[in-house]
Amino acid sequence: MIIDCDRCEMRNIACDDCVVTALLGEVPGEELGGETAVALRVLADGGLVPPLRMTLRDAASG
């Protein structure tokens, strides 16, 4: 999974409630392995961290 804050539709909308900002600050272009993504999802499901709010923009829309 590649976390690219520059391409996220939720940038500047839900950053304050995103696990990336909570743990790392804004990280344009950071790659997270599958196990890390699963671990973040488990932590979010348990209410320990906010969920990943990243939603990628469609390449055609900019």
3-54 per-position pLDDT tens digit: 778 888 888 888 888 887 777 766 656 677 778 878 888 988 999 888 877 7
pTM for this model (two decimals): 0.51
Tell which residue, 48, 62, 53, has the closest CA to residue 10: 53
Q: Across the chain, how many H-helices and E-strands are there?
A: 2, 2
Phi, psi of 15 (to 5 degrees): -60, -40
Q: How far apart are CA 47 and CA 9, in angstroms?
A: 23
Q: How far apart are CA 43 and CA 6, in angstroms?
A: 24
